[in-house]
A and B are shown apart, each in its own frame.
Chain A
Amino acid sequence: MKNYIKLFLAVCTISVVSCEDVIDVDVQTDTLRLVVEASLDWEKGTTGNDQSITLRTSTPFFDTQSTDVIGAEVNVTNNSTGEVYPFTDQNNGTYTTTTFDPQIYVTYTLEIIYDGERFTAEDTLRPVPNIKEVYQDTEDGFDDETIELHIVFDDFQDEGDSYFFKFERPQDLLPTLEVGDDEFINGNEVDWWYEIDDDEDEEIKPLLPGDIVTINMHSISRPYYNYMDIVIDQLGGVGIFESTPVEVKGNCINTTDPENYAHGYFRVTQKNSVIYTVE
C-alpha cells in the first residue's frame, strides 16, 4: 500500500522530468567492508538441508570488482536446540552445508570469524502461505495493454506478516525485487501483481508470450522487511520527491570492532518457487 504511494511519488518525479543524462560525479569512498549474503531459504515441500552463504567485500561505488572472501569460519546455530550447522569453505567465496534443519518460528544465529573479527546475526524463520493461483491478465497494472502476472494467496489472520518477492527472466540482467506487508490488507486474499513497464527508451521489453518467469515468494521477518524496504526504495537511485537516501545497516554485528560492521543480511525464510511461462 505504502509502496504504491512511494511509487506515485517516483512517477511524479519521472513525469516532471524533461531531461536526464549520465554524468561524472566524484563520490566519497568508505572503508571496504565484509558483505554477507546469508540467505537460508527453505523451499516449501523440500528438506531445506542444502544451504549456502556467500562472503565478499564491498567496493568503491563506481568500481564494482569485489573480492571473494576465503578462509572465514562460518557456523549457524539453532537457538532452541543449540544444534550447530558448520558451513564449509568452497574457496570461492561460498560456504555450504548439507545438514541444515529448518524449523518454523525458530530463531537461528549466524557466526562468522574472519580476519580475527567475529560477526554475529540472528533471524527467525516464518511460515509462508501457499500460492493458490498464478495467472496472467492485462486489465490491472499500470498499463492495460501489457501482460501482468498475478500471484494469489491468503494472508495469515495474525497481523505482522511480511513478504519478499523476486522475479527473474533469463533475458534480463537484473531481477525485480519487491517487499510487502499486511498493514492494510491483513487477513485478506491478496492478489499480488507483477508487470514490466513498456518503456520505449529502454531495451527491456514487457512480459511477452513465451517468457519464462521465475517467481520466488518468501515469508520474512519484520527486521528483514525493514532492511529490504529501504534497500529496494533506494535501488536505481532516489528522485526529488522520494526519501533522501540513507545508509542501510543489515543485521550482522561485528562484536570485535562495532565500527567495522558488515553489509548484507542473515535471513532465514520459507519460500514458494514457481516457474511460469507466459502464454
Chain B
Amino acid sequence: MIKKGKRKVRLRWLSVTSIIILLLSYTPVVAQENYTISGKISDIDNGETLFGASVFLEGTTIGVVTNEYGFYSITAPKGEYRLLITYMGYADIKQVVNLNRNQNFNFEISETSTKLDEVEVTAEESEIAVLRKPEMSVLKMNIETVKQMPVVLGEVDILKSLQMLPGVTNNGEGTGGFHVRGGAGDQNLVLLDEAIIYNTSHMFGFFSVFNADAIKDVKLYKGGIPARYGGRVSSVLDVRQKDGNSKRFAATGGIGIISSRLALEAPLFKEKGSFLIAGRSSYANLLLKAAGEDNSVGFYDLNLKTNYKINANNRLFLSGYFGRDSFELGDTFSNSYGNATGNLRWNHIFNDKLFSNLSAVYSKYDYKLGLTFAEFDWVSSITNYNLKYDLKYYFSDKFKLDFGASGIYYEFDPGEINPTSETSAVNPLLLDRKKAIESGLYIDAEHKLTEKLTAQYGLRYSSFSRLGGQPMTEYANNQPVVYNADLGIYERGTAVGETVYEKGDAIKTFGNLEPRASLAYSINDNSSLKAGFSRVAQYIHLLSNTSSATPLDVWAPSGQYIDPQLSNQYALGYFRNFANKAYSMEAEIYYKNTDNRIDYIDGSDLIGQNTIETEILKGESRAYGLELLFRKNEGDFTGWIAYTLSKSEQRTPGGTAGGPGINDGDWYNTPYDRTHDISISGSYKLNEKWSFGTNLVFQTGRPVTYPNGQYEYEGVSIASYADRNSDRLPAYHRLDVSVNYKPNKKPDAKLKGEWVLGIYNAYNRKNAASVSFGQNIETGANEATRTAIFGIVPSITYNFKF
C-alpha cells in the first residue's frame, strides 16, 4: 500500500517540477526588454531584515513587499525610475535607478524617531489595509503595538492581543489557546520560526509561550490561507523570531510581578552573522508560597536564534525554542509540560528572481504527570520532523509564483504509565504508539490581471499515511460505537479482534487537493473589494472533551476510524483608507463548513484511552459571521474598534453507530460560538514621558450545558442536564487601563527604561469562567457556583533596553 502511495507522490512531484522548469525556461523569452532589481531591506540600527516593507517604482503600480527574509525582486521595462521604499515607522528612501541591466540593491532604513525605545504612534504599513494585494482575512500585529496594550499581570502577550481583533476569541480567562472564526483550538496551525507549537500556553493559559522580546513578526491567517500552509482548517499563526542584532550588542529585558525576562543580541563572525538569546522565567512558587500554600506553579522558556551569511546569496539560520511549565501540589501531584523546537534553515538566492529556503524542523510537546499519592506517573508526547523547501519566483511585475514541498513525520506517544514504587497497585501500561507521514506539494501564483484586478490562485496537494507497527482493534459490525436504542445512549462497540499492521504497511492513506484563490479589485486608490476561497485538510486532531483544553489532552492522527477534517471557507471583504491613510476600515463576511469534525459521546472517557474510536462520533461544523474593524493609524491617539457578529455550530449524526446522534442529530452551538464580540483598544501619547493605553471588551457568554432538573438518588441530589451547549454563561466584559512612564534620561544615555503600570479588569467584573451546579454540603440545597479567575488585577513592570 505504502509503496504505491509513495510512487504516486513522486510522480506528482516530478510533474510539478517539470512545470516549474518549463516556466523558468520561459524567462528569457520575453518580448519587451525587462530588467530586475533585487535585494534586501533591513533596519540600519540592528540589521534585522524587514518583512512586509514595500518597494515600489514611483508613478507606476509595479512593486512588491519584502518576504519573511527581507528579500524583494522587481522586474520592469527598461528605463529610469525612482525606487521608493516605505515601511511605517521608518523613514522613506528614494533612489534613482537606471534600469538597463539586472542589479542588486540592499537598503538599510532607519526608524523615523532617533530614540531607541520610542512609543510607536503610527501603525505599520501592513497594519493598514493593504488594498491591492489579494491577501485578506489576515491580521498582522506590530510587536510594539502588542507591547503597548494593557495586559493581565503585566505580561505582554501576543495571543491575548490578537483576541482584541475581529474573529479571534478565547475560551474564557485562564484557558489556553485561541479560536478563530468559530473554529476549535486544535484547528490553528501555530508556527514559531516554522516549527509547530502544540501547546501555546503557560500556566494553564494565563500566559502564552511567545516571549515578545524575541519576536519580530506575528501574522494570523483567519482565512484565505496561502497554499504554502496546510494541515489545520481554521487558521495559521505564523510567528517569526528576531535574527539578532548584527550591528552591535544589545540587551532588552523586563522585571514584572510574575516573571522576568532578558534578551541578548550581538553580531557574530565580523557582522557576517548574529545571534539572539532570550530567556524568561516566572518566580516559581512565589505567589502560592506567599499565600501559605504548599503548592507551586511556574514556567520558563528560552529562545535562541543565530544566523550566518555565507555570501550574498546564501545564508544559514538556526533557531530554537524550549519552554517548560511545572505545577506541584504538595506531595500529591506533580505535572510538567512544554514544547521544544529546533529549525535549521538555508536561504539560497538562485538569481535575482528566484529565492529559496530549505528548512529542517523538529518539534516536540510532552507532558509528565506524577501522582505521588497513587504511586504512578504518566508520560505522553507528540514529536515531529519536518523537511520543507519553499521557493518564490518573481517572474514579472505581473506574475509571481510560490511553490514548494514539505514532509512531516509524526510520532504520537499517547501515554505510558509506570508505577513509581514497589508497593504501587498500578500495573505498567503503554498505549499504542502511532506514526504517520504528512506531505504537501503546492504552487501559488500572484497574478496582476489588470491595473485594478489582482488574483492569487494556487493548489495544494496533501497526503497523509498512517503507518503500521501497531495493532488496530476490529469491532463487531465494524461499529466502534453502537447506539443502544432501548436506553437511548451511545455505547462502546464490542471488540472482535485485532489486525496487526507491520511497520512497512500503511494502515490508511488519504490524499486531498486543496484549491485556494482570492481576488482583489481596487475601486480607487483608497478602497478595494476582495473575495477569497480556500479549502484546507487537517489530518491530526486534539482530543478534548473538557470545557477548555488542558495540557493533558492528546493528539491523534487520522486513520482507520478518524477521517481528516475538510474545510471550505468563502469570504468577501471591503477595505478602505480615509484621510490619507490616517484611518482605515475593514469589513469581511465569511462562511465556512468543516466535514468530519468529531464530537464525544455522552460519558466519553479520553484518559488513558487506547481506542479513541469508541468515544467519538463524526459530524460537521459550520460558522459564519461579519467582522468590522475600524482603525485610527496616526496621531497621538491611535487604536481600533473591532466588532464581530457570528455563529458557530455543529451537528453530529449517529452515522455508522446508528441512532439520531448527539443532541438528536440537530445543530447545536460549538463552545466557540460568540454572537457579539466587541473590542476597543486605544493608546494615547501625551508627551515623550507619558502614554496611556486602554482596552474595553464585551462578549456574549460562552455556550455551556446547565441542568434542567434534579432527582434524589443514593442520598444525594443528581442533576439532569439539558441539551449540549444550550445555555450560556453570563456575558463577558471588562476594561483595562495602562500607563507608560519613561523617566527623563539624557538622549545619549545608553540605558533606556520605562515603567508600565496596568490595571486589568478595572471595574472588578466577576466574569464567569464556569458556573457549576451542585449541592451545598451543609444545607443540602442546590446552588450555582460561579468561578471567576481574575478580579481587578493591578500590575507593575519595568522594561529596559541598552
Contact = CB atoms under 8 A, between A and B. Distances in A.
Interface of A: 1-2, 4-6, 8-9, 11-13, 15-25, 27-30, 32-33, 35, 37, 39, 56-62, 64, 66, 140-144, 166, 168, 172-175, 177, 183-186, 188-191, 202-204, 226, 229-231, 234-251, 253, 258, 261, 263-265
Contact of B335 (A1, A8, A168, A249): A8
Contact of B552 (A9, A229, A246): A9
B546 A56 contact: no
Contact of A190 (B425, B602, B790, B791): B425
B204, B369, B489: most-surrounded residue (chain A CB, <10 A): B489
Interface in B761-802: 766, 768-775, 777-791
B772 to A, nearest CB: 3
B369 A264 contact: no
A140, A143, A186, A245: most-surrounded residue (chain B CB, <10 A): A245
B129 to A, nearest CB: 37
Contact of B770 (A191, A235, A238): A238
Contact of B713 (A9, A238, A265): A265
Contacts of B710: 58-61, 64
A84 to B, nearest CB: 21
Contacts of B206: 16
Contact of B724 (A202, A246, A264): A246
Interface string B131-157: 000000000000000000000000000
B716 A18 contact: no
A265 B713 CA distance: 9
B709 A240 contact: no
Given A58-B710, A237-B785, 14 more contacts: A19-B791, A21-B766, A28-B726, A35-B713, A37-B713, A61-B708, A61-B710, A64-B712, A64-B780, A235-B775, A240-B174, A240-B175, A241-B550, A244-B724
Contacts of B602: 230, 246-249
A143 B329 CA distance: 10
A153 to B, nearest CB: 11
Contact of A244 (B373, B545, B707, B775): B545
Interface in B552-604: 552, 602-604
A235 B766 contact: no
Nearest to A18: B789
A112 B426 CA distance: 42
Contacts of B175: 240
Contacts of B714: 37, 39, 166, 175, 177
Nearest to B707: A61
Interface string B495-506: 000000000000
**Nearest 7 interchain pairs by C-beta:** A237-B772, A236-B774, A246-B602, A30-B708, A58-B711, A237-B774, A35-B711
B330 A185 contact: no
Contacts of A1: 374, 376, 417, 426, 608
Interface string B377-407: 0100000000000000000000000000000
B518 interface: no
A2 B774 contact: no
A20 B175 CA distance: 17
Main secondary structure of the interface of A (DSSP, over half): loop
12 contacts: A5-B378, A5-B552, A16-B204, A19-B791, A28-B722, A37-B713, A174-B715, A174-B775, A184-B417, A240-B174, A244-B546, A249-B489
A251 to B, nearest CB: 6
B726 to A, nearest CB: 7
B399 to A, nearest CB: 50
B257 interface: no
A185 B426 contact: yes
Contacts of A28: 706, 708, 722, 726-727
A246 B605 CA distance: 12
B548 A241 contact: yes
Contact of B718 (A4, A19, A226, A231): A231
B29 interface: no
B788 A18 contact: yes
Q: Which size bracket describes the interface of B in this complex?
A: 35 or more
Contacts, number: 266
A264 B713 contact: yes
B334 to A, nearest CB: 10
A242 B547 contact: yes
Given A23-B771, A60-B709, A263-B711, A240 B720 contact: no
Contacts of B791: 18-19
Contacts of A244: 545-547, 671, 704-705, 724-725
B244 to A, nearest CB: 36
Nearest to A3: B607
B789 A185 contact: no
Nearest to B487: A249
B488 interface: yes
B545 A239 contact: no
Contacts of A16: 174, 204, 206, 789
Given A66-B712, A174-B716, A235-B716, A23 B552 contact: no
Contacts of B288: 15
A184 B786 contact: no
B429 interface: yes
A169 B716 CA distance: 14
B330 A142 contact: yes
Contact of B712 (A56, A191, A226): A56
A66 B371 CA distance: 41
Contacts of B331: 144
A17 B767 CA distance: 12
B327 interface: yes
Interface string B718-742: 1111101111000000000000000
Contacts of A58: 709-711, 720
B371 A59 contact: no
Contacts of B772: 236-239
A152 B486 CA distance: 38
Contacts of B487: 249-251, 253, 261
A64 B786 contact: no
B488 A258 contact: yes
Contact of A2 (B297, B425, B607, B786): B607
Contacts of A166: 714
B333 interface: yes
Contact of B488 (A9, A12, A39, A261): A261
B711 A13 contact: no
Nearest to B331: A144
Contacts of B489: 249
B295 interface: yes
